[in-house]
Chains A and B, each alone.
Chain A
Amino acid sequence: MGALEHRLNAPGDRSGRLAAIASVATVVYVPVLALALWQVLSLFQPGIREVISSPAAVAANLASGLADGSVAANVGASLERALLGWIVTLVIATPLAIAAGRIRLFARLVIPVVDLLRPISPIAWIPLAVLWLGIGLNSKLLIVFVVTFFVVFLNVYDAVIRIPPVLLSVCRTFTPSRPFMFLHVTLPASFQGVVLGAQYGLTTAWGGVIVAEMVGANSGVGYEMLSAANQFDPTSVIAYMVLIGLVGIVLNAAFLLVFRTMLPSFVGPGTSDA
């Protein structure tokens, strides 16, 4: 602890309140300073204002967007696509990853393919998505899938291969039934990893939908941001970046909230937000 905090924790009635204020201040002062610096720069350096706008302008932009409902509509449209893509990915990637974790041969065949496809950006998939699935929802879902798949797959796979082998042996001494082992050992033992994969998958899907909205969209946070970029409107671009970050934080927090309250005995030290 620094000297400042020692002094603040000196005995007396005020120490509790001061300590609370100090801890809030600690978390907040860097963003506040950064915003202040940004604002000052934009006021005194007109060239900068054209490129990165100012906090005041961005805030005003967001406020008006909130007021006229456009923010809500766009966030809603993007969220819908992201959540759908997330669920589709979970349904496909989780069983594949569990199979790869438990069946060595399958892993040896599938993992190299996964590794080869992983470095490829979702942007590269856009023309293929359009050609194969048109410009509707499905092509956007494909883009979201392409980003989210690897995150979910690798986390679940990792969880399955980390199942302590002794637990599988214990099961074998009681029954040779593979379905029983799957249901009563493999699934519960890897559950934490599955949840972690779903958590990272959710925020990844949110990022992926931004890219997906390059495909024939006319609504959504990504679409609006890209339109603003094409119109050289940095204020709106930054406003939408802020929105993207905020919604990402909220999604992550919501997921943790749901899972921590619903399944406390399953959530371990792995499901932090950082």
Chain B
Amino acid sequence: MHRFLAGPGGAAIASKGDFNLTRHRASASVGWTRKLASRSFGMLQAATGIAILLVGWEIVTVLFRPLPVILPSPQDVFGRLVYLLSTSETWSNLGISLARVVAGFLLGTGSGISVAVLLTRHPFLDRSLRSVLVALRFVIPFAWVPIAAYWFGLSETGKVFITWYASFFVIAFQVRAGIEAVPDLYVRVAQTFGMSRRRTLWQVILPAAWPKIIVGMRLGLSFAWVAILAAEMVNANSGIGYFINYSGQFLATDDVMAGMIMIGVLGFVTDQALSLFGRLVLPGKDAPR
């Protein structure tokens, strides 16, 4: 299954100082890096990584003096970003794209969890739908853009269809894996209390599978963000993805990069929000990172 990790969390590596894990570290003694392992320091180091990237970028710009259209300097891009954020048009674009991503993601979560539950409950359905699901997984959202354009015309449905499509499969598969990983023991305990199947699902199975469900949701959200550019190729005239697409066509490199930064930040923020939501709903061990 998708064992890879969702979302940012460099801080999480730094701060989860589990006592038992320290027994088997590769270094023989408590190093200076471990002493910095509190959450705020973790974020500082996250910022450092990005700072190093920025410094490297600046150095390249200064050393090689490329044409701004080929590689704008960090100042150019951030200047452009500041300007863009001062226009209401940019904010409305951000809002529209955010709405499309969130809508597709929520639909993907709802349908993904429902389908996963159905598939684990009814092996017959599982076998029936397996061929379709597996085949569709390899047809990337981008490939649906022409058909979505023909089918949905100018409506928002076309764009949300793409973001939904991007998140649905990964959520469905992750949630299914999560449900299948719930120990039979838990279900038997529920049966000894005479719990109905519905209550068992909601009060035992889904909570037990919650960490994997959250991982799936975070992956689904990140795929929805990647898909927003494709989605906004479907007869769109608004949105950050649309903005990046047409800026790209005019080779307005600084706008393209400013747009990428905006999406990167929005993706980060929404992922953190989702992760927080996951911890609030069921506090305890987060998805390992």
The chain A residues found within 8 Å of chain B, CB to CB, are 1-2, 23, 26-31, 34, 50-52, 102, 104-105, 107-113, 115-124, 126-128, 131-132, 151, 154-155, 157-159, 161-162, 165-166, 168-169, 172, 181, 193, 196-197, 200, 203, 206-207, 210-211, 225-226, 228-229, 232, 234, 237-238, 240-241, 244-249, 252, 270, 272-274
Contacts and interface: CB of A to CB of B under 8 A. Distances in A.
Interface in B113-154: 123-124, 127-140, 142-147, 149-151
Contacts of A31: 131-132
* Residue from B226, B251, B268 whose CB has the most chain A CB atoms within 10 Å: B226
A121 B228 contact: yes
A169 B138 contact: no
A171 B134 CA distance: 41
B227 interface: yes
A124 B150 contact: no
Interface residues of B, number: 83
Contacts, number: 218
13 contacts: A1-B123, A109-B52, A120-B267, A123-B142, A124-B244, A124-B263, A131-B253, A165-B21, A165-B23, A168-B26, A197-B4, A207-B140, A248-B137
B147 A111 contact: no
Contacts of B253: 127-128, 131
B160 interface: no
Interface string B42-57: 1001111110110000
Nearest to B224: A119
Those 6 A-B pairs whose CB atoms lie nearest each other, nearest first: A248-B138, A119-B267, A165-B24, A229-B146, A154-B4, A127-B248
B8 A274 contact: no
A164 B138 CA distance: 33
B238 interface: no
B227 to A, nearest CB: 7
A158 B45 contact: no
